[in-house]
Amino acid sequence: MFAPLPLSQTDPDLWAAIQKEDTRQQDHIELIASENYTSPAVMEAQGSQLTNKYAEGGHLTHGMALNMSGKWFNAVAYGLNEQEEIDYDRMEALAREHKPKLIIA
- pLDDT, tens only, 57-89: 666 777 788 888 888 888 888 889 999 999 999
- pLDDT mean over 7-22: 94
Question: Does the residue 26 lie in any domain?
Answer: yes
pLDDT at 2 > cutoff 80: no
Query: For the chain, how many residues are written?
Result: 105
Given phi > 0 = left and psi -120 to 50 = alpha, else beta, which region is 57? left
**Same structural domain, 91 and 63:** yes
- What's the pLDDT score for residue 74? 86
Domain count, the chain: 2
Most confident of 5-19, 22-36, 40-54: 5-19
Residue 31 structural domain:
7-46
Distance in angstroms (rounded) separating the CA atoms of residues 17 and 8: 10
**Same structural domain, 98 and 63:** yes
Q: Residue 101 belongs to what H/E stretch?
A: none
Question: Does the residue 51 lie in any domain?
Answer: no
Question: Does the residue 35 lie in any domain?
Answer: yes
Question: Does the residue 41 lie in any domain?
Answer: yes
Positive or negative, the CA dihedral 18, 22, 25, 28 is: negative
Half-sphere exposure of 36 (CA within 13 A, CB side): 5
Question: Does the residue 52 lie in any domain?
Answer: no
pLDDT at 30 > cutoff 70: yes
